[in-house]
Amino acid sequence: MLRFDRTLRRVKNIRKRDASAELYDSPVRRASKHSEFPAECIVFSKDRAFQLHALLSSCTEMVTPGIPIHVLYHTSAHTHRQAYDEVIKIFLDNSNISFTKQHSDTSFRHDLMLLLRSVESENIFFLVDDVVFIEEFDIKDFSQFNTDTFVPTLRMGLNLTDCYTLREKQPLPVFTPGIIKDKDKITWHWHRGSCDWAYPVSLDGHLFSTREITTMIQSIDFSAPNTLEDRLQKFRRFFLSRMGVGYKKSKIVNIPCNKVQTENKNLCGDIHQDYLLEQWNRGLQMDYRSLYGFYNVSAHQEIPFKYKKRS
What's the pLDDT band for 20 if we cut at 50, 70, 90? low
d(CA 159, CA 172): 9
pLDDT of residue 52: 98
Mean pLDDT rounded to a whole number for the chain: 90
pLDDT of residue 7: 42
Residue 311 has pLDDT above 90, yes or no: no
Q: Tell me the pLDDT tens digit for each residue of 128-147.
A: 999 999 999 999 999 999 99
118-145 in b/e form (b: 16+ CB < 10 A) is ebebbbbbbbbbbbbbbbebebeebbbb
d(CA 176, CA 303): 31
Residue 75 has pLDDT above 70, yes or no: yes
Angstrom CA distances, 6 to 13, 17, 29, 208, stand at: 11, 17, 34, 37
If DSSP codes are grouped into helix, strand and coil, which group holds residue 236? helix
Region of poorest pLDDT, from 2-16, 27-41, 207-221: 2-16
Residue 290 has pLDDT above 90, yes or no: yes
The answer to whether the CB of 196 falls within 8 A of the CB of 205 is: no
pLDDT of residue 2: 46
Listed in sequence order, the residues at least 6 apart from 37 whose beta carbon sits closer than 8 Å to its beta carbon are: 67, 68, 120, 121
pLDDT of residue 247: 98
The answer to whether the CB of 250 falls within 8 A of the CB of 154 is: yes
Decide: pTM greater than 0.75: yes
**Looking at per-residue confidence, does 17 or 135 come out higher?**
135
pLDDT of residue 117: 95
pLDDT of residue 262: 63
Residue 16 has pLDDT above 60, yes or no: no
Peptide bond before residue 171 is cis, with ω within 30 degrees of 0: no
What angle, rounded to 10 degrees, do the helices at 210-217 and 225-232 form?
Answer: 100
Residues constituting the chain = 311
